[in-house]
Structure 1
């Protein structure tokens, strides 16, 4: 099992607020709409990265996205440990993996977050995906850190 972890991120919102927003994936609809309104004002590099993600759909428990050249990926929440952790499992992916968001309180008004991906990778595949997966998990952490909870 290969593990990829994000750096620990400071979130300027209480742990419970962050958990409440992220544990119901339908809350991401507002983020998607906000991106559509703001994309013309974003830096070029950030906009190019965001536009690589296609056909994002979600409901309260699952998220589907098409990421060229990887293809379609579908994640489902398989465990919620309020307010500490949200665990996901890939349902559709070229490489089966688990993903989780860990949340810990720092103060009454701030928290910290770490993202983890675990995947069964042979040595050949591991060498090919190591850098893109590590960069990807950091970019996801960047986005989650910027959300208003």
Structure 2
């Protein structure tokens, strides 16, 4: 299994309880998805970055429950990440369902002695050597981007 870890993200104003509470219920992402899908400023930023703003339409195809998130993936079809384990105020483990390979994602949250918390994402995927060469760098970059995005969520507003 290939292993990809994000950098540790510090959340100085957020307690472990706040972070865990938000991330352990995937339905809390619904307002964020709806805002992104309908936000003309985000569409403009995508255009400036040379990307197609029509990609935002795909966010409307995302299905959320408290335990899972399903989304379309090119050439694969519908893919689902499902929470398979929760360790209160420490870790959330998600598994890929309906994917052509076995993959797990861990979101680890720990308190920081100076206050606040820190978070790290770990992705383990069953990739053969060819797949590692083709998508390994993209997975490394993607796991860091996902950690950055999660670190920017408004946890203290819960």
TM-score (norm 2): 0.83
Aligned CA RMSD, in angstroms, stands at 2.3
* Cα distance change of structure 1 residues 104 and 62 upon mapping to structure 2, 3 Å threshold: same
Flag the structure with higher strand content.
1
Q: 2:154 — aligned with what?
A: 148
1:57 positional shift: 0.9
Q: 1:51 — aligned with what?
A: 55
Structure 2 unaligned residues grouped into runs of 5+? none
* Cα distance change of structure 1 residues 75 and 25 upon mapping to structure 2, 3 Å threshold: same
Name the CA distance, whole Å, in 2 between partners of 1:50 and 1:25.
24
Name the CA distance, whole Å, in 1 between partners of 2:145 and 2:53.
9
Local SS of the residue matching 1:141: helix
Alignment of 1:1-149 (within 5 A): 1-11=1-11, 12-37=13-38, 39-42=39-42, 43-44=45-46, 45=49, 48=52, 51=55, 54=58, 55-68=61-74, 71-107=77-113, 109-149=115-155
1:35 positional shift: 1.8
Structure 1 unaligned residues grouped into runs of 5+? none
Name the CA distance, whole Å, in 2 between partners of 1:120 and 1:33.
32
Q: What is the CA deviation profile of residues 86-141 of structure 1, one whole-angstrom value per residue up to 9, with x for unaligned ones?
A: 00111111222011100011157511110011011111111111011111111111
1:50 positional shift: 9.4
TM-score (norm 1): 0.88
* Larger of the two Rg values belongs to structure: 2
